Amino acid sequence: MANTTIRVAENVAGDFFVDSTCIDCDTCRQLAPRVFREGPNHAFVWNQPESADEHRAALQALVSCPTGSIGTAGDDSAKTVMSDFPLLVEAPVYYCGFNSQKSYGGNSYFIQQADGNWLVDSPKFLPHLVRQFEALGGIANIFLTHQDDVADAEKYAQHFGSKRYIHRNELSSQPDAEVVLEGFDDVELVPGLISIPTPGHTAGHCVLLFDNRFLFTGDHLYFDRHQQQLAAFPDHCWHSWPQQIESMQRLTQYQFEWVLPGHGQRGHLSEAEMQRQLVALVEQMAAMR
């Protein structure tokens, strides 16, 4: 629960506020960019909700905050938005919400498939979210992009009897994973779902391409909402920046329209524009090298 006595100074007056326990994970700004902004090492409320849609988005951010750092002095109940999650991105892909502090507030996603649903990385393990997943047909498979964002994957796997997929170089985070990905060749896990190794951020980082439209990028690639272009995280590359450049270059071979990251803003562009921006990003990354 957010604490009104430790509200950050940048909050504008009004019901919604952020307190000093915020870890600046960006979750709130992704969900409610009209309400929240980035401050020095924390988010803050820069504009109180002015419409019903903005108010609902602010409440979605409140329940998804991994550290419970968002509060409201109004009589709102978070229960009014609980049923919004998982939140539809574009059928059959959903954003799970309820980001976990274990993955520093990383995003996770749900793919509904007739031959078995997929979870991409993991949210908090919460009874409400479990019930929602059950209503959507359960979780047959869990794809883990890398060791940072596994969160409560083991609990979901135990509950649903899911198979977890993770690269061998990330296996220390899920040592009993059911499927271990080997080497650095692309693997079609099932028709329409391709695991693409993208070492760089970590040694065994992988992205998941679904239906040649949705690219689940972990911590490899995101959409910069301010610059309105694709971007990478040079300050959060834990393994090898040169390898991450090579991995990004590899992605130019594929077609997709959605970038769905573990951290950072998701983005939707035409295939042609996505390709153009990706090529430009590789050039920028090489210049930074």
- 69 with 186, same domain: the answer is no
- 187 with 273, same domain: the answer is yes
CATH number, domain of 63, equals 3.30.70.20
Structural domain harbouring 70: 4-74
- 63 with 91, same domain: the answer is no
Q: What is the pLDDT of residues 219-242, one digit of tens each?
A: 999 999 999 999 999 888 989 999
Residue 277 and residue 268 in contact, taking contact as beta carbons nearer than 8 Å: no
- 150 with 264, same domain: the answer is yes
With pLDDT > 70 as the criterion, what percentage of the chain qualifies? 99
Q: Is 83 exposed, middle or buried (0-12, 13-18, 19+ CB in 10 A)?
A: exposed
Q: How confident is the model at residue 97 (pLDDT cuts 50, 70, 90)?
A: very high
Pick the closest to residue 111 from 80, 143, 79 (CA basis). Answer: 143
Last-in-domain residue among 74, 92, 116: 74
Q: What is the pLDDT of residues 141-176, one digit of tens each?
A: 999 999 999 999 999 999 999 999 999 999 999 999
- 68 with 98, same domain: the answer is no
Q: What is the mean pLDDT of residues 34-54?
A: 96
- 193 with 148, same domain: the answer is yes
- 170 with 244, same domain: the answer is yes
Residue 48 and residue 55 in contact, taking contact as beta carbons nearer than 8 Å: no
Question: Which pTM does this prediction carry?
Answer: 0.96
CATH number, domain of 185, equals 3.60.15.10
Residue entry with tokens 């439209």: 213
- 15 with 155, same domain: the answer is no
CA 73/CA 208 separation, integer angstroms: 41
pLDDT score, position 1: 78
Q: What is the pLDDT of residues 73-95, one digit of tens each?
A: 876 678 889 999 999 999 999 99
Cβ within 8 Å of residue 104, ≥6 positions away: 23, 25, 66, 148, 263
